[in-house]
Structure 1
Amino acid sequence: MIFYDENNLKVIEKDLRYLKLLSKQYPTISSASTEIINLQAILNLPKGTEHFISDIHGEYESFTHMLKNASGVLRRKIDDVFGNSLVEHQKSALATLIYYPEQKLELVKKTETNIKDWYKVTLHQLVEICKNVSSKYTRSKVRKVLPPDFAYVIEELLHEQGDRIDKQDYYNGIINAIIDINRADQFIVAISKVIQRLAVDRLHIIGDIYDRGPGADIILDALMEHHSVDIQWGNHDILWMGAASGCEACVANVLRISLRYANLRTIEDGYGINLLPLATFAMDTYDDDPCKDFIPKTIDKNISESEISLFAKMHKAIAIIQFKVEGNIIKRRAEFGMNDRLLLDKIDIEKGEINLYGKIYKLNDTNFPTIDFKNPYKLTNGESELIDKLTNSFLNSEKLQKHINFLYSKGSMYLVCNSNLLYHGCIPLNKDGSFKEVKIGNIKYSGRSLLDRFDRVARDSYFFKNDERVKRYGMDMMWYLWCGPDSPEFSKKRMTTFERYFIDDKNTHYEEKNYYYKYRDDETICKNILTEFNLDPEESHIINGHIPVKTKEGENPIKGNGRLLVIDGGFCKAYQPQTGIAGYTLIYNSYGLLLTSHEPFTAIQDAIKNNEDIISSTKILEHAVKRKKVADTDIGRELEEQIANLEKLLTAYRKGFIKEENSSDIF
């Protein structure tokens, strides 16, 4: 505590206006002193557990399970608490019960011959686990997360002292009463959810919730229910955010990707977007075209041949519209420097060839019924009407707009949190490893200022309603962030979508990465980036995703001598053949950093029925010599500032600058 004497009372006088406002909350010396004692105690608690997940890509079943098991944290808690007193199958059954209490209870009640004994054993086990996960929090914080129906009961059980013989009957009586009045099921569900809630203090999503997998909307529903979450936008999130703002190029890209992976559940069922106009247009325009290069990459076994054919036609129709609307953005935004992506006018339709960067390539498809090669970027009347309808569907989807609002409120281009720098893609670099300057408007930005500027423009695209010119620029910039050469989200020189569809030569498909990916194994460059964001380069880490780590080829997710961690390891099923695993996640607790690699997850129903968990392998990246406390975190620094202000308030009371509401001074 700082004691203020006559020489530093000027500090009190300077802050007097603020201190008078603070006195409304703490009107007496007693109340201010009590809060200081409380905050000082919190500073000495262990640091809360942070959970990092990246590149989910709509894989909602894997994500749901990962959220419930906290990337293995809860299973480790069970091992810590019960050690060898439970065998493996008992631990697995207890873990599954905590993850899925309602569903698991249904199965248990069908198979257990003595359900009352099972209840007794299980309730005691759950209380022990709950004691363990709640031990690093204040009673007040734990109390706030307890369900009202069982708050008193759980609190009593959590503070049971095993060596107090005189209270054993009391605690056993509580357990027996819960069972006797048929409230055991409800209690198990309630305490399991408390355990899940307390296992992780904060969840970080390092981008790419959307695309490829079928349940991005389900994932966002879960995130909106989470107690503490932040999101660093990925390029696929940016694309959907742009579509929800009304950017036609983003709408076309979203639909094209959904059709490419035969994933229309999110579009149609999740967000209620009507694709009948696109299907009708595609059937009319490409009726005799097999669209063989537009057959979806992944096909569900339940999809019929006729549906596959329709998807291919819809896929081609929206792709051509995409190339046109993108071309119009490129032509009106010279500053984007993307004229090399104007390809429709490079087609020689009579020869069936395209001049690509000075080299002639044969096209594998020359059926372009909607392209006028004298004016190739002009939409036909039918295309214009169609993209207007589709864009309005995105604008008028209530659930989509709710989710995008959430992404803006909880998200950003990057986050600095507890000595970690979180961003999805990259920091654009020059060939020599220096920060690349990117011109936006008439001003050049680089490093942190570049990400800050992109963040503001992204918000203009969605929220700026008063000036159509500003909003249009923001929407165009959202498309640029999706695929522009200096976008920190895309991180590549060009997106070769056209080439992948229409040119067989795979050399044209290559997408050259930003120099960031050359230098991310360089510790000095990683430290330069950390310094740019005002972090200690010796103690801090960069955490990002975006480019899957090819584990099966020997690639290491730990870069720059431990300064940079890549946690995109193939959460998305489409990437797993490349990565060889099903994703990385990161846990940062009071003991240090844990990197966990995961094997593919089958299904939630398998987990419930067979007690199957995601098979994970954990590597300790850093182990703290001294266990980290709340005082070592960003919240700790905020609490220390609050304590300093309360100490000033105490001095103001004692020196008579401010009068107590109740003048009875206990000191």
Structure 2
Amino acid sequence: MDDLQKRYLKLLSEKYPTIASASTEIINLSAIMNLPKGTEHALSDIHGEAEQFFHVLKNGSGAVRAKIDEEFGNSISMKDKKQLATLIYYPEKKLELIEKEEDDIEDFYRMTFHRLIRVCKRSQSKYTRSKVRKALPKDFAYIIEELLYEREDILNKEAYYNEIINTIIRINRAKEFIVAMCNLIQRLVVDHLHIVGDVFDRGPGAAAIMDRLMSYHSVDIQWGNHDVLWMGAASGHPACIANVIRISARYGNLNTLEDDYGINLMPLANFANTVYGDDPCSLFAIKHVEREDYSISQVEEEVEVKMHKAIAIIQFKLEGQLMMRRPEFHMADRLLLDKINYEKGSITIDGKEYDLLDHNFPTIDPKDPYALSPEEEDIMNRLVTAFKGCEKLQKHIQFFFKQGSLYLCYNDNLYYHGCVPFNEDGTFRDVTLKGKKYSGKALYDFLESCARKGYYMSSDPEERLYGQDIMWFIWSNEDSPVFGKEKMATFERYFINEPSLKEERKDYYYKLIEREDICDMILREFGMDPKRCHIVNGHMPVKFKKGESPIKGNGKLLIIDGGFSKAYQKTTGIAGYTLIYNSYGLRLVTHEPFESLEKAIIEETDIHSNITVVQLVNERRLVADTDVGKQIRKDIVDLEQLLDAYRRGLLREKR
């Protein structure tokens, strides 16, 4: 035994100070290896749709209902199953309704206790008692543990168990106990959650979603382009901030910034009213037709469209400054403000002149079109301070950095949000940044490293600024692995009535992934075995109603963005895909649109979902087959070496 190994075992002995404690842990870990692997749940492109996200999270994409069906079969009615499922999803609200309707509420409580205990037993069956114990709600931990591990063949304790239930009812704790049991079932049904990008933008509930994710028991996040934009904004990057505000204004979602994050937009509103007071800003109408929950007065809407135009012009200026600052981003063709003939109200692109739909640019100096006016400069300084100083936003973004990354290799699945940049011939595209070429996995690693520096680096201002600029690059550059288009035609969509200019050609990746060999190539690039591994991909909505399939490359790649956001559902025809990966294999779940929380609770309408079996395993997958299992094997080897050191007298036990 060398000195380094001895030092390591000595540190390990602090945790396992005796032969008995080390032996017990070896036995425990060896047994865990033979449990079924936990259920993983993957969702992507949530885009602020909190109600639908919470519902899918609560029902585990049908996993809760599956447990109810497995446990009760045909022994209870469909009506009772629906009521039980709804109760598990929304225990507090559902109980309020039931208590008003039930004639004998105590009888209902007893029946419900027994049913919840049975569902809970089935849900926890693949976990150790220790793991279940950690998940138990504090107020009822002892009681639930007793009821979960009761044995029907022990008649001597029947009165004991019945008295537990009777006493809970007698002392008026039945409602709290049911809520605790329902929350525990939700907790146990899904072992781990993957969010494959884009929590932010479009819908109104991003902050609530982030609060929920931060309290979730086990979660990782693969950054989407919208997420990285907000990460850049939180770092204080002006171009990212302008984009965040413009998108929020475009989708009638400024409340997220003002109410949820406390960002003061009054300076922008006052400026917009002054500069664009007589301008109807008709090109900047709010896209809220998809939002039934959206309500705004005419006066407020008139202010918001002016704010929308004001921040859009500021954005184009700031992005122009950035493009000139970073010629290596190769975005000179996106410098458009200097291509405008401000007298004629036209713009020349690729040698062709187009009329502009809006000619009013009072804050643009034709001689220096990318310079902010003094008023715009003041507004951006205030906004930078507000974004950097928002405690809640900073906590949410720090969670992204802590739990997130641009990609993740986990239990034989490769998760990422966008695409791996490809050349047309099926080779990885080289991207030159800081004088060095990057492609494939190396490009992801470099960009992620830069993004982290852009947020956290304090000792080197230039390195920090470069990292912040890279976050904007990740948001909108053709060579970004989470953008995946030749350009972001924001200016053209607002100002030019020419469809060809608004087209955003997708990366070659999206055609190439139809080929199995390309998917195999990507998996090998990330160190994964193509024979057993899959790619789980977000970002590009699958047009289900046009017959497009989310399954690519002969089953090797799964796109799980099907239109969670209401803004996309007219295009996709559905309300998103989710992925369930349990010990039996992979299942892709197609969701119909979520109608409302009220309907879900009162009418017990669940989201209608169709399940496509992507892969069934011949033998049930165990913990031993997972990444956790690999680590457990290493831990067992270390513990066996510690045990050997104790027995050979190389280390002394601590009695």
Q: Same fold judged by TM-score > 0.5? A: yes
Cα distance in 2 for partners of 1:261, 1:149 equals 43
Offset at residue 309 of structure 1 (A)? 1.8
The alpha-carbon deviation at position 13 of structure 1 amounts to 6.9
2:136 aligns with 146
Give 2:583's aligned residue: 590
Comparing 578-587 with 515-524, greater Cα deviation is found at 515-524
Which among 39, 44, 47 is matched to residue 49 of structure 1? 39
1:4 equivalent in structure 2 = none
| Range with bigger deviation, 209-218 or 371-380 | 371-380
CA-CA distance at 1:604 after TM superposition: 1.6
Q: When the two structures are superposed, what TM-score results if normalisation uses the length of structure 1?
A: 0.96
Secondary structure at the counterpart of residue 193 of structure 2: strand
Aligned 1:217-366 pairs, distance under 5 A: 217-299=207-289, 302-366=295-359
Alignment partner of 1:170 out of 150, 160, 166:
160
Is it true that 1:132 corresponds to 2:122 in the alignment?
yes
Alpha-carbon distance in structure 1 between the residues aligned to 2:354 and 2:78: 60
1:110 is matched by which residue type in structure 2? K
Call closer, same or farther: CA 1:388–1:14 in 2, change over 3 Å.
Answer: closer
- Give the aligned partner of residue 180 of structure 2: 190
The answer on 1:389 being equivalent to 2:382 is yes
Corresponding residue of 1:489 = 482
Structure-2 separation of matches of 1:417 and 1:177 = 45
- Structure 1 position 424 matched with structure 2 position 414: no
Equivalent position SS for 1:394: helix
Give the alignment of 1:642-657 within 5 angstroms.
Answer: 642-657=635-650
Alignment of 1:472 onto 2:486: no
Distance 1:474 1:652 in 2: 48
Q: Deviations over 1:76-121 (max 9, x none)?
A: 1111111111211211111111111111111111111000100010
Q: Report the counterpart of residue 613 of structure 1 in structure 2.
A: 606
SS at match of 2:103: coil
Once the two structures are TM-superposed, the CA of residue 165 in structure 1 deviates from its matched residue by: 3.1
Which of residues 99, 107, 113 is equivalent to 1:117? 107
- Alignment deviations for residues 190-249 of structure 1 (CA, whole Å, 9 cap, x no partner): 111111111111000000000000010000000000010100000000000000001110
Secondary structure, counterpart of 1:619 in structure 2: strand
Measured in 2, the distance between the counterparts of 1:153 and 1:464 equals 49
1:570 aligns with 2:570: no
**Does 2:352 align with 1:374?**
no
Stretches of structure 2 that go unaligned for 5 or more consecutive residues are none
The Cα shift of 1:20 comes to 1.4
CA–CA distance in 2 between the matches of 1:614 and 1:602?
A: 8
Higher mean C-alpha displacement, 27-36 vs 206-215: 27-36
Deviation at 1:14, TM superposition (A): 6.1
Among the aligned pairs, what percent are the same residue? Answer: 58
Q: Distance in 1 between matches of 2:142 and 2:357?
A: 70
Opposite residue 437 of structure 1, the aligned amino acid is D
Q: Following the alignment from structure 1 to structure 2, what is the Cα–Cα distance between the partners of residues 166 and 246?
A: 66
What's the counterpart of residue 14 of structure 2? 24
Measure, in 1, the Cα distance between the counterparts of 2:123 and 2:65.
12
Spell out, residue by residue over 1:174-194, the C-alpha distance to the aligned partner (whole angstroms, 9 max, x if none). 212211221111111111111
1:3-22 correspondence runs (5 A)? 15-22=5-12
- 1:302 is displaced (CA, Å) by 2.4
Tell me if the contact between 1:426 and 1:516 (Cα under 8 Å) persists in the aligned partners: yes
Which residue is 2:56 aligned to? 66
Supply the distance in 2 between the matched residues of 1:353 and 1:17 (Cα, whole angstroms): 74
Equivalent of residue 525 in structure 1, options 518, 533, 536: 518
Residue equivalent to 1:541: 534
Q: Distance in 2 between matches of 1:471 and 1:563?
A: 38
Q: 3-state SS of the aligned residue for 1:617?
A: strand
Task: Summarize deviations over 1:226-273 as a string: whole Å, max 9, x none.
Answer: 010100000000000000001110011001101111111211111001
In structure 2, which of residues 389, 397, 405 is the aligned counterpart of residue 404 of structure 1? 397
- The question of whether the paired residues in 2 share the 8 Å contact of 1:484 and 1:493 is answered with yes
Aligned with 1:15: secondary structure?
helix
Give, in angstroms, the shift of residue 492 of structure 1. Answer: 1.0
Q: Aligned equivalents of 2:330 and 2:257: distance in 1?
A: 32
Q: Shift of the alpha carbon at 1:575?
A: 0.1
Q: What letter matches 2:283 in structure 1?
A: D
Q: Per-residue CA shift, 1:273-303, capped at 9, x if unaligned? A: 1111111111111111111110012256622
Q: Secondary structure at the match of 1:262?
A: coil
Match of residue 449 from structure 2:
456
Q: 1:481-519 deviations in whole A, cap 9, x for unaligned?
A: 110110111111111000000001111100011111121
The residue aligned with 2:491 is: 498
Task: Give 2:455's aligned amino acid.
Answer: Y
Shift of 1:358: 2.0
Q: 1:215·1:265 contact (CA, 8 Å) conserved in 2?
A: no
Deviates more, 1:382-391 or 1:312-321: 382-391
Q: Deviations over 1:117-162 (max 9, x none)?
A: 0001000000000000000000111111112221121111111222
Question: What is the CA–CA distance in structure 2 between the aligned matches of 1:252 and 1:443, rounded to whole Å?
Answer: 30
Q: What is the alpha-carbon distance in structure 1 between the residues aligned to residue 621 and residue 255 of structure 2?
A: 44
Instruction: Tell me which residue corresponds to 1:559.
Output: 552
- The residue that corresponds to 1:635 in the other structure is 628
- 1:95 partnered with 2:85: yes
* Residue aligned with 2:203, SS: coil
Q: Which residue of 2 is the match for residue 626 of structure 1?
A: 619
Of 206, 214, 218, the residue aligned with 2:204 is: 214
Letter in structure 2 aligned against 1:202? H
Given residue 220 of structure 1, which amino acid in structure 2 is its aligned partner? M
Q: What residue in structure 1 maps to residue 145 of structure 2? A: 155
Change (3 A) 1:14 1:472: closer
Distance 1:523 1:13 in 2: 49
- Aligned-partner Cα distance in 2 for 1:384–1:280: 14
Is the partner of 1:514 in helix, strand or coil?
coil
| Unmatched runs of 5 consecutive residues or more in structure 1 | 1-9, 663-667
User: Separation in 2 of the partners of 1:114 and 1:330?
Assistant: 70
Aligned pair count reads 652
Q: Secondary structure at the match of 1:68?
A: helix
Cα pair 1:496 1:510 within 8 Å, conserved: yes
Bigger mean CA offset, 622-631 vs 430-439: 430-439
Q: Is the 8 A contact 1:74 1:95 kept in 2?
A: yes
1:3 maps to none
CA offsets 1:34-81 (integer angstroms, 9 cap, x no match): 110000000000000000000000000001111111111001111111
- Give me the TM-score of the superposition, normalised by structure 2: 0.98
Shift of 1:306: 2.2
The answer to whether the 8 Å contact 1:346/1:355 transfers is yes
Alignment RMSD? 1.2
Residue 48 of structure 1 aligns to a residue whose secondary structure is: coil
Q: Deviations over 1:15-37 (max 9, x none)?
A: 22211111121111111111100
Runs (4+) of structure 1 exceeding 4 A deviation are none
Q: Which amino acid aligns with 1:465?
A: S
- Contact 1:427–1:447, Cα closer than 8 Å, also in 2: yes
In the alignment, is the contact (CA less than 8 A) between 1:99 and 1:192 conserved in 2?
A: yes
